[in-house]
Every structure is written in structure tokens, then in C-alpha cells.
Amino acid sequence: MADYVISSQFNEKVFLTLDAGDSRVMALGEKLASLCPDAYMNGYNWEALLRYYLEKNAPDILEGMESDPEAGMYEAHWPRTLENEAKAKRFEEIIRSLIENEETLCRLVREDGGEIEWD
């Protein structure tokens, strides 16, 4: 498995972290930026893109979720419950699928880039 996305638990929270500085993630970010100039893919714009994707495709994952993006990473976290652990696992699978099958994100940015609230 790729290590650009990691789920963990600490201090009664469940975390999911995307390393926006990973070479594969950065290469995808460059493709997305070429499709939409506002989509320069720092942690803040990964938050915008992933939130938009979840709103359309898995809105339940957003329930109770908080985000903490930075320039080189995106982090989501929930209070630690079995339900939220399952949400984090599903979100991790979604991110891996989107990174590994990048055409889905390219199409999303090409078609909906103007609707996403970029940083």
C-alpha cells in the first residue's frame, strides 16, 4: 500500500492524514492545476476538493469531521468511536482510489472546478 495517506488514533480522536508532498500526490496535483489554475494542490485545496467530492458521493463521512489542512498536508479527524473509525477507513479507501485512478479527479476538476471553493 502507498504511504501517502495514513489513518491513526490518538487522544480520543481518529485521524486521516494525506501527505500532499508525496511525489505521486504532487504529480497528480500538477495535472489538476493544469486543468484549473485555482487548483494548486496544497493541503488547503486538497481539503476543498475532497470535501466537494464527499458532499457529492459520501456525505455521511463529513458528519462530525473536522479538518486541519496545512501547506504540505491535509488532515481530517473525528471523535473516536467505532462509527468514526469506519468513516476514516472508508475515507482512506476513497482517497487511495482517487489517487490510484486519477482520471476521476481530473474529470471532476475539469467539469466542476469552477464550483469548488478553492483556497
pLDDT over threshold 90, residue 119: no
pTM for the full model? 0.94
Task: Give 10's contacts (C-beta < 8 A, 6+ positions apart).
Answer: none
Dump pLDDT digits (tens) for 70-105. 999 999 999 999 999 999 999 999 999 999 999 999
Q: Can you give the residue range of the structural domain that contains 27? A: 5-115
pLDDT on residue 2: 54
Closest alpha carbon to 33 in 21, 45, 48: 45
Q: How far is it, in rounded angstroms, from Cα 76 to Cα 118?
A: 17
- Higher per-residue confidence, 2 vs 102: 102
Number of domains in the chain: 1
Find the mean pLDDT for residues 10-27: 95
The predicted structure's pLDDT at residue 1 = 47
